Each structure stands twice: as structure tokens, then as C-alpha cells.
Amino acid sequence: MSDRMVIDHQAVSEAVEQIETVAEDLDAAAVAVNADAADAVTAIPIGEFAFRPALNAAESWWYSRIVDHRNHLIDLAQFMATNAAVAAQHDQDSESDLVELGEELQVDVDEYTTSDYYETTGAERPDYNPAALPTDGKSVAVE
């Protein structure tokens, strides 16, 4: 891909945190809308009306879609964090934080895997959680 990436690892790390916050807010809002909307229709018996289980399914699907969006954001954030970590490792100038990563140093956008993130940043791998996996059948590149 590119032979040059200029990166201020401090600024990008802050962006990573912000993206992760956006992702979690997105998730939390979807959880809340599902719960509140479900509470609102409790007076309509689910076993009697045919549309009720379909409504539930639609709302559940929406949540799964949001999980996919969230995972995309996390994936993007982790990729940025990976390169920020590489940049931090090669930062020779403590004043500017600005590092230029040549082709040989940066983690290529076409070859990145989540293993790169965990190995480069030292982040702890989460326990296996099927709910957190992408649901559209297009998984991140497996390590």
C-alpha cells in the first residue's frame, strides 16, 4: 500500500479512545432502545398478536446490525492503535511525537490482522465472546 505514513501517536491514540467510546455509546444506545421499546409494548400480548414476535425479531436484528457497526469501529480503532504503537516505539523526538513510518515499519492496511493489534499494543485478548463477533458473516482476518 503506502510507503509512508506520518503519525502523531499521541493524537492518534486519543482518536482511538474516542472511536472506542463512540462504538460503546452506539452499542449502549441500541441496547437501551431495545429495552425501552420492549417495555412500551408489554401490554400487547406476544402470544396473541402475530406481529409481536416479528417486531421483537426486527428489533433484535437491529441490535445485531449495531454490533456489526460497533465491531467495524473497534476494528478501525485497533488498526490505528497498532500503527500508533509502532510509531511510539520508533519515536526519537520526545517533543513532537510526529513519526514517519516507512513501508517496512507500518502495519499495512491490506495485511493487518487483529493479532497485529494484540502483539503490537500488548493489549489483553478478551475472552471468547460469540456475541461480540461480527454477525454478517464477514469476519476480520483471522490470526
Partner 1 sequence: MSSLSWRTFYLTGYTGLDDAAAVWDRYISEAADFEATLIDGIPVLKEGAADQARDDFDGETADLVRGQARHIAERFLDDLDAYASHIKVLLQEAKTDFETKRDELAGLFAEKSVYLTAEGEPGEERFEVNESDLYNYLTGSGTVEPMNEYEADAYEQRVREQAVDLSDRFKTLMDSVRELDDQYAADFKALNDDPPPLPPYVGSDFEAKTAEYLQEQHQDFLDKIESGDAIPEEVNDWWNSLAEGDQELFVHELPELVGPVDGIPTEDRDTANRILLDQEIADFSPTLDEDIAVIEDRIAEIEGNWSEIVANGDSIDRAEELEQLREELARLQGERVTYNELVDLQSAIAEESPTGQQYYLLGYDSAGDGKAIVSVGNPDTADNTVVYVPGTGGDLDGAGGNDLQRAETMAGDAAQVAGSGETAVMVWLDYDAPNNPIMNSPSLSYAEDASEPLASFMSGLDATNHDPEETTTTVIGHSYGTTVIGQAASEYGLDTDQIVAVASPGMTVDHASELGIDPDDFYSTTAPGDLINAAAEATLILGSDPNDGGLNIQGGGLDSGFGGTSFDSDNMGWSPVDIHSNYWDDGNPARKNMAMIFTGNGDQVT
Measured from the CB atom, the residue of 111 and 127 that comes closer to partner 1 is: 111
> 3-class SS at 102?
strand
Positions in 42-61 near partner 1 (CB under 8 A): 42-45, 48-51, 53-55, 57-59, 61
- Which residue from 18, 24, 28, 133 is in contact with partner 1, where contact means CB under 8 A? 18
Residue keyed to cell 514517519: 100
Conformational region of residue 21, where left means phi above 0, alpha means psi within -120 to 50, and beta covers everything else: alpha
8 Å CB contact between 1 and 108 = yes
Q: How distant is the alpha carbon of residue 119 from its chain centre? A: 17
The residue from 46, 88, 98, 123 that contacts partner 1 (CB under 8 A) is: 98
Residues 61-90 within binding reach of partner 1 (CB under 8 A):
61-62, 65, 68-69, 71-73, 75-76, 79-80, 83
Least CB distance from residue 122 to partner 1, whole Å?
19
